[in-house]
Amino acid sequence: MYIEYTFTMDDGKVLNYKVEFYRPREHLLEQDKYPHWTLLEFHQCPNCPLQKSHYSHCPPAIDAYEILLGFADIISCHEVDIHVKTPEREYFKRTDAQTGLRAIIGFVMASSACPLLSKMRGMAYYHLPFASLDETVFRVTASYMLEQYYNHKKNRAVDLDFTNLKQRFKETQTVNYHFLERIRAATEADSNLNVLATLFTISSMLSLSLERHLKDIEYLFD
């Protein structure tokens, strides 16, 4: 399974990224092959369970660095044509570069080997580009409830109050914040900073006011 993003700028510049969902990689990599800001210990998230004796680099940083560097001279507010291709269907949208970059980086991070972000791999597998906040709330909570169903089938504890989901948002918020610090060290590009700042904002909103956002879509089930 893969997704392919093609960004076409008004000046004719084209950026194309084909990202496989499964990206097996050695845990210990040669340091001189990757930027220094991808090293695990560089702004490592305080809640990261990985140890540098077993992992030399941050998994999502390794997966995302080529994409982020490709946008080093792209301004986030500039409109671009974005074509997204998956094995099942294709999407197209003309929008600001930040929206498209946020979509592909969100997929890359959620499908990475990060033990914190990998809890969203189910959503990443059924990737929806350009999702609105309401769509994100629906997909996150529906995915989480399906996880609780599987927990029930395996006689594990079931969380119907989204208590652990809120904790996941807090963990994701921490990851996004410290990942942003990595990007600040890598580039001064406007888009790269804005996209991670936006991801940070979304996880923060959902961790603090999930019930309110669920209330907004409750009418769909009346």
pLDDT at 32: 85
Per-residue pLDDT in tens (0 to 9) along the chain, 222 residues: 899 999 999 999 999 999 999 999 999 999 888 988 899 999 899 999 999 999 999 999 999 888 888 877 776 778 999 999 999 999 999 998 888 888 898 899 999 999 999 989 999 999 999 988 889 899 999 999 999 999 999 999 999 999 999 888 888 888 888 888 887 776 655 555 566 666 666 666 676 688 888 999 999 998
pLDDT at 92: 97
pLDDT at 69: 80
The span from the first CA to the last CA of the chain, in angstroms, equals 36
Q: Please state the domain count of the chain.
A: 1
pLDDT at 152: 97
SS3 state of residue 86: coil
Residue type, 184: R
Q: Which two tokens stand for residue 172?
A: 């994701």
pLDDT at 194: 61
**Which range of residues forms the domain containing residue 168?**
2-221
pLDDT at 173: 85
With contact defined as beta carbons under 8 Å apart, do 3 and 85 qualify?
yes
Residue type, 209: S
With contact defined as beta carbons under 8 Å apart, do 18 and 66 qualify?
no
pTM of the entire predicted model: 0.87
pLDDT at 73: 74
Q: Cα torsion for 150, 153, 157, 158, to the nearest 10°?
A: 60
DSSP character string of 6-18 = EEE-TTS-EEEEE
